[in-house]
Amino acid sequence: MKILTVLTYYRPHTSGLTIYAERLARAFARRGHQVTVMTTQYDPSLLLEETLDGVRIIRVPVAARISKGVIAPTFGWVATKLVAQHDVVQMHLPQFDAPGVALRGRLFGKPAVLTYHCDLLLPPGFFNRFVNAVVDFQNNTAGMLSNHIVTYTQDYADNSPYLSRYASKLTPILPPVELPEPLPGAVPAFAEKHHIKERRPVIGMAARFAAEKGVEVLLDALPMILRKYPKAQVLFAGTYQNVMGEQAYSDRLMPRIREYEIGGHWTFLGNLDPVEIAAFYPNLDVLTVPSLNSTEAFGLVQIEAMMNGVPCVPSALPGVRQPVLRHGMGRVAKIGDPADLAACLLEVLAEPDKYRGDIESIRKAYDPDSIAAEYEELFKRLMR
């Protein structure tokens, strides 16, 4: 099968969406499919075309940026050529160009499948309201033109104004999650580097430093945690400097975080590669995902943590609460409530044995090969 995957940002850009797309594309390739990823050259240093892990990547040059989006004048021309050459088209939303790609699928008789990752909610402001309105229009047009839509969970679909419109052509498929085994000695080396023995418990957060991630909720909860655990520390894995569109948010929170950094209670780890993240999770006592709105639809990092036996405390957002509710490894905190987040974290830290899960069954449920097989069945059904 010739599979064309289309999305605005692809690796090495780091987000839950790009990691999902990369894992799925690699799984398709391992299963013998011819896979092409069409994306944008958001960074001029990236090659216009290359093949990685059996996946052909074609990047379209970018002429300008608008908020977190890009303008790529030749995107439509390249999409026309590639859609015609493939058997099925898979798009990752939110994506401004999706309607045009879905329309090309219709014109060439190629099934078009949308993988809907999350609602887009930009920060307040007149311009961002305009951008949100445009993206909503584009997403709805893509939804009408597509043959089918995939999302992570029925819970998120039931609570999404967008997805509820397309219930008749919607299939929930769990996201693909995989991690390499840590290198020999990497876990104790990580522990030594970050003084894990002297500064416990360790609360992990793995995300971009962005407003929707709820960093300030954890920040406000930290004093309550430190009253019981004076040596507790937060390890923040992910991009935290020069995050697109988040400078004002960073400027507001950083002075408080710097105080905790000085006291050894907060450490920024930066963007970790898969081998480094494999050493990160085993050193945690708990992972938190205190996200604030529907731009977070699941929180893949929760499954990564659970695969390492680490319980989680997410916010009660639809979809985001599902890993804990499905697997019982943690507690769900009220959205945007620092006191409740602190209480849930303290409860999990106090009784870790209560939140052990069946790690092997979790690995099987999210294995990229199994997820790719579910997509294959959907593709075959649509092609028939």
Across all residues in the chain, what is the average pLDDT? Answer: 93
pLDDT of 95 reads 85
The mean pLDDT value for 212-237 works out to 97
In contact, 304 and 316? CB cutoff 8 Å: no
In contact, 200 and 234? CB cutoff 8 Å: no
For residue 128, is pLDDT > 80?
no
Q: 186-364, what's its fold?
A: Rossmann fold (3.40.50)
pLDDT of 64 reads 81
User: Phi and psi dihedrals of 170, rounded to 5?
Assistant: -125, 135
Confidence of residue 383 (pLDDT cuts 50, 70, 90): very high
Q: What angle do CA 48, 52, 55 make, to 5 degrees?
A: 90
Name the residue with tokens 């407003």: 211
pLDDT of 137 reads 86
The mean pLDDT value for 125-132 works out to 71
Q: Classify residue 123 by its DSSP letter.
A: P
Question: How many angstroms separate the Cα of 140 from the Cα of each of 98, 150, 164?
Answer: 10, 14, 11
Instruction: State how far the Cα of 60 lies from the Cα of 81, in Å rounded to an integer.
Output: 13
Confidence of residue 274 (pLDDT cuts 50, 70, 90): confident
Q: CB 255: neighbour CB atoms within 10 A?
A: 8
Give ranges for CATH 3.40.50.2000 in the chain: 2-176+367-383, 186-364
Instruction: State how far the Cα of 123 lies from the Cα of 120, in Å rounded to an integer.
Output: 10
Is residue 97 classed as helix, strand or coil in its secondary structure?
A: coil
Closest CA relative to residue 177, chosen from 380, 7, 377, 372: 372
CATH number of 2-176+367-383: 3.40.50.300, 1.10.3720.10, 3.40.50.2000, 3.30.420.40?
Answer: 3.40.50.2000
pLDDT of 123 reads 63
In contact, 295 and 212? CB cutoff 8 Å: yes
Q: Classify residue 64 by its DSSP letter.
A: E
Closest CA relative to residue 4, chosen from 69, 63, 58, 82: 82
Instruction: State how far the Cα of 175 lies from the Cα of 94, in Å rounded to an integer.
Output: 16
Query: For the ranges 60-74, 83-97, 202-216, 355-369, which has the lowest average pLDDT?
Result: 60-74
Instruction: State how far the Cα of 333 lies from the Cα of 356, in Å rounded to an integer.
Output: 18
Tens of pLDDT, residue by residue over 142-195, are: 999 999 999 999 999 999 989 999 999 999 999 999 999 999 999 999 999 999
In contact, 87 and 383? CB cutoff 8 Å: yes
The mean pLDDT value for 51-78 works out to 87
Beta bridge partners of 310: none
In contact, 345 and 355? CB cutoff 8 Å: no
Instruction: State how far the Cα of 267 lies from the Cα of 355, in Å rounded to an integer.
Output: 26
Confidence of residue 71 (pLDDT cuts 50, 70, 90): confident
* Count of residues in the chain: 384
For residue 261, is pLDDT > 90?
yes
In contact, 150 and 142? CB cutoff 8 Å: no
